[in-house]
Structure 1
Amino acid sequence: MNQSTFNQARHQCVHASRRRSALVTASLLTLLLGACATPVHLSQPVSEAAVAQADQEIRGTPPPHERRLNDRAAEAKVRAIFNRLEPGARDLCYQMGEDNCQWDLRYSNDPALNAFAAGADTIVIQKGVLSYADSEEEIAMVIAHEMAHHAANHISETKMNAMSGALVGGLLMGALGAAATSGGGYDSGQRSARITDSALLGAGVGAVIGQLRYSKDQENEADYLAAYILERGGYDPRKARTMWAKLARAGRTEHGERHSFDTHPDPAERLARWDETVREMQAYGGRFR
């Protein structure tokens, strides 16, 4: 074998080794992160027929239209709905064993259809939520969903998952980098640099996997809890369901981002699960299980 052929073969082996390392890392990360806490308050699984029916309903829903609103009236509306929902949401939060069940509502006049939970207690509702809503129940559903993220401690869970993923990924890729460079003709400086690069890459990949690992389940849990929060606030969850179809037609999530299957469940599944949760509530007389 001449030197050129040898170098080509070595180059192919290195790339094959890197591919195997990436696959091994992803597999191990998935297994290890599976030990993290997962949401437990979820609706019963929905059938394919129910999802197909919800999808057909979404396709038949007209695209949402923005309405002009006065900021003072919009903010007053948001705060009135929040105040009506808060007692029931707080009781549900305590019932789930959380300690921090007091939240700070903030209204934003940003016209984007967006709402989010942040920090330890902040809930932000932007003007666009009201501009696209056709009923008080639709607005209440979005607010209840963000309350549910706090009540279920999702923000802290996501941060912990990202940190765990970064740690596990860094350790795994660092170890794989050390194995790949051992006996490969690298001097100590090159070997150290490659191990460091591998560890940093693994940490980045691990953080992303850790952060997204349960995001769909967290959204499902927030949806599930939101239905109970609505009911406790005296709203009819059946009238709020239209917001899911509206968001789906807009190609957006309630968090203002374009819908992604990496972070949010399928829109038709969300609508079907919402209906399943409402049926459960009716069967148990609205008692939270």
Structure 2
Amino acid sequence: MKRSIHAFLFAIVLGIAGPGVQAKDSAAGADDGVKVDKMSSVRKLVSEEQVEAAALQQYLGIKRDAGQQKALAPEGHPQLQRLRAIANKIIPHALRWNERAAQWQWEVNLIGSKEINAFCMPGGKIAFYTGILDSLKLTDDEVAIVMGHEIAHALREHGRERLAKSTLTNAGAKLAGIGASLLFGVDPHLTDGVAGFGAKLMVLKFSRGDETEADLVGLDIAARAGYDPRAGIALWQKMGMVSKNTSLQWLSTHPAGDARIAEMQKHMPSVMPLFVKARGTQTPPPPYMSNVKGIAPIP
């Protein structure tokens, strides 16, 4: 019995328990756009409420610290208004990927820092650092790609899945003793410590599969909102140029590379029609022009 329980739990940790895990998933009611693997069932071992509560506490702490350092952008800041305007266009198209997102209290803030970083925490709490806007000279389309990517991590519950796997891994011997209860319902004691994971939410290292999924879902969301998905290619070309001269915090958890750009290019036929439709015209859009020398027009 104990061996079979361990085998079952090991399968869950790997995200392969039960049939259909590798089936393709798309936005609710959408036959167009990108298709990605279904979300791992392992995330259900940690409640949405606990993860979102932990995220909120950490987000409030980040805002408080930024405020004390006079680094939190005031309401009238033009870059903050720009970010919120982009978010207002993107978020309605994000909800189709996760019904719960309609209940989130979405929030966007800007933090003054040279750090090249941005994030969206579970529950829709978004922050950009001025460093990513200034150092990369992001166009609105490129901001939308970054924002869409980060929102996609929250929508696809990658943080919840990572915390659930961490909970199972750290539980160790405790799992054997409560294995039977896991088969019929989650032991509440397993998730007692999830609130303490708030400090980990900002440093979670997502898998390569998570990153690819966030790229694709982010492209889908941005394109539906009327932002050019080809900006994603220009964005990562910029990242490659800047990373040669400085260490990027964002790249520590968002690996770049030619393979990533190639994956985006492969899925352009799925997202470009969304962008064309959002533009309200069937006229093919002109090549995407970045604002940095060295990046060729993207047809």
| Structure 1 segment 9-20 matched on structure 2, within 5 A | none
Which residue does the alignment assign to 1:34? 14
Question: Structure 1 residues 110 and 30 mapped into 2: Cα distance closer, same or farther (>3 Å)?
Answer: farther
Which residue does the alignment assign to 1:73? 78
| 2:137 paired with 1:133 | yes
Ranked by relative contact order (alpha carbons within 8 Å, sequence separation 6 or more), the top structure is 1
CA contact (8 A) 1:133 1:139 kept: no
How far apart in 2 are the matches of 1:152 and 1:159?
13
Pick the structure with more helix per residue.
1
Question: Structure 1 residues 285 and 245 mapped into 2: Cα distance closer, same or farther (>3 Å)?
Answer: closer
| Structure 1 segment 84-233 matched on structure 2, within 5 A | 84-94=89-99, 100-131=103-134, 132-168=136-172, 215-233=207-225
How far apart in 1 are the matches of 2:250 and 2:107?
26
Q: Deviations over 1:80-131 (max 9, x none)?
A: 111111111123333xx76645522121122211001224331111112211
How far apart in 1 are the matches of 2:222 and 2:117?
19
The amino acid across from 2:271 in the alignment is M
Structure 2: runs of 5 or more not aligned? 1-7, 27-33, 37-72, 177-199, 278-299
CA contact (8 A) 2:220 2:274 kept: no
Aligned length: 192
The amino acid across from 1:270 in the alignment is R
Which residue does the alignment assign to 2:284? none
| Structure 1 segment 244-283 matched on structure 2, within 5 A | 244-251=236-243, 257=249, 259-260=251-252, 264-282=254-272
TM-score (norm 2): 0.53
Give the counterpart of 1:240 among 228, 232, 245. 232
TM-score (norm 1): 0.55
Deviation, structure 1 residue 224: 0.8
Deviation, structure 1 residue 79: 1.1
Q: Deviations over 1:231-271 (max 9, x none)?
A: 1111110133211111233339xxx52645xx545521111
Deviation, structure 1 residue 155: 1.7
